[in-house]
């Protein structure tokens, strides 16, 4: 039976899952019958019970950000390899205090739990909402945490949670690209943060980029081998992938055998009159400019079929109140700052973007609404 305790900000050198002033650590503690826990707790408990029971195979659905979500099979060995590599990269130990604020139905949340069980250290479980630090006791400061960009942005907006975030030794950010604005704010506040690169098939991240001035330069975890196919897309071979070669659709620039710059998705590349444009890089370059005109709108670049160019660059804005005059001014400013090739030939407005189950923008389905 789980022990009822008051969570203290003290170093505990063993695996313990803390939730609602209770401690869970044996597989019997994760029995859920009749406890009425929220879904995110049930997902975490189901996984912990399976792991502590010695389960070897785990089925995991991919995010579906670039296509139809699919179920993939992950092994215990893969997940252990991933947690070991992350621990080696950051130098964690049994006194490292973790916080799980991601949904354990997805791989990123599961891997936080695996890390705690492998590293034999305590982990606190909170609701995976936009500001998870609001639910933390005042005297609790995690050492290691994984978050998505939206959560980090929300924590930065609140002074009290910003203070807590600044105390985190290592913050890893994944699930979506980190915007230039978010990078700037993290650096201004001297927060030790890393952007992750990985996918469900590689069991969470296989590379990390320190958030600092300049483009994100990714460095692989120990024992990860990387290369490129004929398109320039990254392939990965690692213990996390059972030493199978995993081919991605991510175009990269290799800098060494263990480091690279990410350029964007191969399936998003726009060929406009023979000029190849990487929309994700354009989004980073033009973010501050777009925010001047449409500060509260999400956006992305896309390629629309064109009789002359083959594809033409367009910008899609999530906005319930279209403003064609502002859109025209934005086009003019973009042309003067970035040049003709990187200026959208058309700006579209949509009231709402279509998202995947994991909250990412489904670009193709959103574009098909136009």
Task: Output the CA torsion 88→91→92→93 (10° steps).
Answer: 100
Under DSSP, the state recorded for 275 is: E
Torsion sign, CA atoms 50, 51, 53, 55: positive
Inform me whether the pLDDT recorded for 32 exceeds 80: no
Query: Is there a contact between 121 and 94 (Cβ–Cβ < 8 Å)?
Result: yes
Domain end (from 231, 246, 266): 266
Inform me whether the pLDDT recorded for 247 exceeds 50: yes
Domain that holds residue 292: 269-367
Asked whether residue 258 falls in the same domain as residue 277, the answer is no
Query: Is there a contact between 230 and 221 (Cβ–Cβ < 8 Å)?
Result: no
Inform me whether the pLDDT recorded for 31 exceeds 90: no
Q: Residue 105's domain is classified under what CATH number?
A: 3.40.50.12780
Total number of domains constituting the chain: 2
Domain end (from 266, 289, 305): 266
Asked whether residue 348 falls in the same domain as residue 202, the answer is no
Longest dimension (CA), the chain: 70
Angstrom distances, CA of residue 138 to CA of 141, 142, 238, 329, 370 = 8, 11, 40, 47, 48
Domain end (from 247, 266, 285): 266
Q: 188 Cβ partners below 8 Å, 6+ apart?
A: none
Asked whether residue 261 falls in the same domain as residue 286, the answer is no
CB-based contacts of 151-158 (< 8 A; 24+ apart in sequence): 151/101, 152/182, 152/186, 152/193, 153/182, 153/185, 154/130, 155/131, 156/182, 156/185, 156/186, 156/189, 158/131, 158/133, 158/134
Query: Is there a contact between 143 and 96 (Cβ–Cβ < 8 Å)?
Result: yes
Asked whether residue 277 falls in the same domain as residue 201, the answer is no
- State the pLDDT at residue 289: 94
Over residues 221-228, mean pLDDT: 95
- State the pLDDT at residue 68: 54
Q: 236 Cβ partners below 8 Å, 6+ apart?
A: 202, 206, 224, 225, 226, 245, 246, 248
Asked whether residue 257 falls in the same domain as residue 316, the answer is no
Asked whether residue 128 falls in the same domain as residue 217, the answer is yes
Under DSSP, the state recorded for 221 is: P
Compute φ and ψ for 231, nearest 5 degrees.
-85, -15
Q: In a 3-state reduction of DSSP, which class is residue 337?
A: helix
The pTM score is: 0.80
Find how far residue 217's CA is from the centre of its chain. Answer: 16
Asked whether residue 163 falls in the same domain as residue 113, the answer is yes
Asked whether residue 233 falls in the same domain as residue 262, the answer is yes
Tens-place pLDDT, residues 3-19: 443 333 444 458 999 99
Task: Identify the band that residue 69 occupies on the pLDDT scale cut at 50, 70 and 90.
Answer: low
Tens-place pLDDT, residues 93-102: 999 999 999 9
- State the pLDDT at residue 36: 83
**At 81, which helix (H) or strand (E)?**
helix 76-90
Asked whether residue 301 falls in the same domain as residue 259, the answer is no
- State the pLDDT at residue 35: 76
Asked whether residue 275 falls in the same domain as residue 243, the answer is no
Q: Residue 280's domain is classified under what CATH number?
A: 3.30.300.30
Find how far residue 52's CA is from the centre of its chain. Answer: 26
Task: Identify the band that residue 287 occupies on the pLDDT scale cut at 50, 70 and 90.
Answer: very high
Asked whether residue 26 falls in the same domain as residue 155, the answer is yes
Asked whether residue 321 falls in the same domain as residue 206, the answer is no
Lowest mean pLDDT among 19-23, 101-105, 240-244: 240-244
């Amino acid at each position: 039976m789980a022990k009822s305790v008051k969570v203290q900000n003290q170093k505990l050198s063993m695996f313990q899952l803390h939730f609602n002033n209770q401690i869970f650590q044996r597989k019997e503690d994760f029995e859920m019958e009749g406890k009425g826990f929220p879904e995110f707790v049930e997902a975490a408990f189901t996984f912990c019970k399976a792991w502590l029971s010695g389960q070897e195979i785990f089925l995991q659905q991919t995010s579906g950000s670039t296509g139809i979500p699919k179920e993939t099979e992950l092994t215990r060995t893969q997940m252990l390899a991933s947690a070991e590599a992350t621990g080696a990269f950051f130098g964690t130990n049994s006194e490292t205090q973790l916080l799980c604020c991601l949904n354990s139905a997805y791989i990123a949340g599961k891997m936080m739990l695996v890390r705690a069980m492998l590293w034999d250290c305590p982990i606190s479980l909170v609701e995976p909402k936009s500001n998870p630090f609001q639910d933390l006791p005042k005297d609790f400061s995690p050492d290691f945490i994984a978050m998505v960009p939206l959560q980090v942005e929300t924590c930065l907006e609140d002074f009290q949670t910003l203070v807590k975030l600044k105390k985190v030794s290592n913050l890893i950010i994944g699930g979506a690209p980190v915007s230039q604005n978010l990078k700037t704010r993290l650096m201004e506040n001297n927060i030790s943060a890393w952007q992750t690169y990985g996918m469900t098939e590689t069991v969470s991240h296989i590379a990390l980029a320190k958030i600092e001035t300049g483009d994100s330069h990714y460095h692989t975890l120990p024992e990860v081998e990387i290369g490129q196919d004929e398109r320039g897309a990254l392939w990965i071979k690692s213990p996390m992938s059972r030493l199978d070669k995993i081919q991605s659709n991510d175009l990269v620039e290799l800098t060494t055998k263990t480091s690279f710059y990410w350029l964007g998705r191969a399936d998003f590349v726009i060929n406009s009159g023979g000029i190849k444009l990487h929309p994700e890089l354009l989004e980073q370059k033009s973010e501050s400019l777009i925010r001047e005109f449409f500060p509260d709108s999400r956006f992305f670049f896309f390629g629309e079929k064109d009789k002359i160019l083959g594809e033409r660059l367009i910008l899609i804005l999530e906005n319930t109140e279209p403003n064609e005059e502002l859109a025209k001014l934005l086009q003019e400013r973009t042309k003067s700052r970035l040049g003709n090739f990187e200026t959208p030939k058309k700006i579209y407005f949509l009231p709402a973007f279509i998202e995947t189950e994991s909250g990412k923008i489904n670009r193709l389905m959103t574009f098909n609404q136009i």
